Amino acid sequence: MVFVVFISGVSKGIGNGFAQAYLSRPDHIVIGSIRESAASSPKVKELQSFPAAEGSKLMLVTIESTSPTDAAKALQQVKDAGIDHIDIAIANAGGSPIPTTPLESISAEEMTTTYQVNAVGPLMLFQACRPLLEKSSSPKWASITTGGGSITLMGSIRSWDGSSYAAAKAALNWITRAIHFTNERFVAVALNPGLVQTEPGNWIAKRWGLEKATYTIEESVSAMMNIIDNSTREQTSGKFFGIDGKERPW
């Protein structure tokens, strides 16, 4: 039986790491979304030539997170390719303005765009993926969020510095928990990948006085995949976790 995984934002960073990790498992179809402008990027070329395990293959589709229609078009391509279900959908695509803008001076345009990319985009993806998720025997949805999306932890981790990004991820957390309630078979989890050695992760680390971010992409992805693999409707769905497997407060 072929296992189907959809991952948004596979052109670099965590999404690229997820795609390689799932392609390393036998009998997996990995559907990855990229922006059109990233189609010829080195990391996408590297992913396309990645030595997949036996029975596994990659399919790339184009989604721009600010588009209200790209996700639906991409999923139609998936159906047209003969793929009739999705077992796991990972809403990974997102982005933060670097450097971050203080709350007192952030513009309406930046706030709106960041919400489109980090909250509205994943919602459009869920709506597009839902019919194929419903055809899985064990459908799972994972949102890649951030500790800054926790309203409870704002004071202790100074996440108000994250402004638009943290606020948008708080919205994504809400959407993730809402997905849990839309279908009694769905498993939906929000995952904080930790401070990862990506471009924005290393920027944040240096701002905090660190040489680089704490976790490699491989370490973060492996930990999150373990959580996804072991997630159940009864014990983990509708909740927010760090890569240590411990639940985080909303």
- Tell me the average confidence (pLDDT) per consecutive run of 10 residues in the chain, 250 residues long: 96 96 98 91 94 98 95 98 98 86 91 95 98 98 94 81 88 98 97 85 76 88 98 97 96
Pairing mode, if any, of strands 57-62 and 88-91?
A: unpaired
Active-site residue (options: 12, 115, 140, 165)? 165
Of 199, 242, 204, 229, the residue nearest 217 (C-alpha): 199
Can you spell out the DSSP letters for the chain? Answer: --EEEEEE--SSHHHHHHHHHHHTSTTEEEEEEE-GGGTTSHHHHHHHT--PPTT-EEEEEE--TT-SSHHHHHHHHHHHTT----SEEEE------SSPPPTTT--HHHHHHHHIIIIIHHHHHHHHHHHHHTTSSS-EEEEE--GGG-STTHHHHTGGGGHHHHHHHHHHHHHHHHHHHH-TT-EEEEEE--SBSSHHHHHHHHHTT-SS-SB-HHHHHHHHHHHHHH--TTTTTTEEEETTS-B---
The token pair that represents 80 in the structure block: 């047209």
The token pair that represents 103 in the structure block: 């709350």
Active site residue 165: yes
Tell me the CATH number for domain 3-242: 3.40.50.720
pLDDT at res. 242: 96
pLDDT at res. 162: 67
User: In whole angstroms, what is the distance from residue 245 CA to residue 249 CA?
Assistant: 13
User: In whole angstroms, what is the distance from residue 174 CA to residue 147 CA?
Assistant: 14
Active-site residue (options: 22, 115, 169, 215)? 169
Q: Which residue has the tokens 């459009």?
A: 124
Q: Say if pTM beats, i.e. exceeds, 0.85.
A: yes
Phi, psi of 189 (to 5 degrees): -130, 145
pLDDT at res. 183: 95
pLDDT at res. 132: 98
User: In whole angstroms, what is the distance from residue 68 CA to residue 17 CA?
Assistant: 26
pLDDT at res. 102: 85
Q: Contact, 97 vs 16, CB < 8 A?
A: no
pLDDT at res. 58: 98
Of 77, 113, 95, the residue nearest 38 (C-alpha): 95
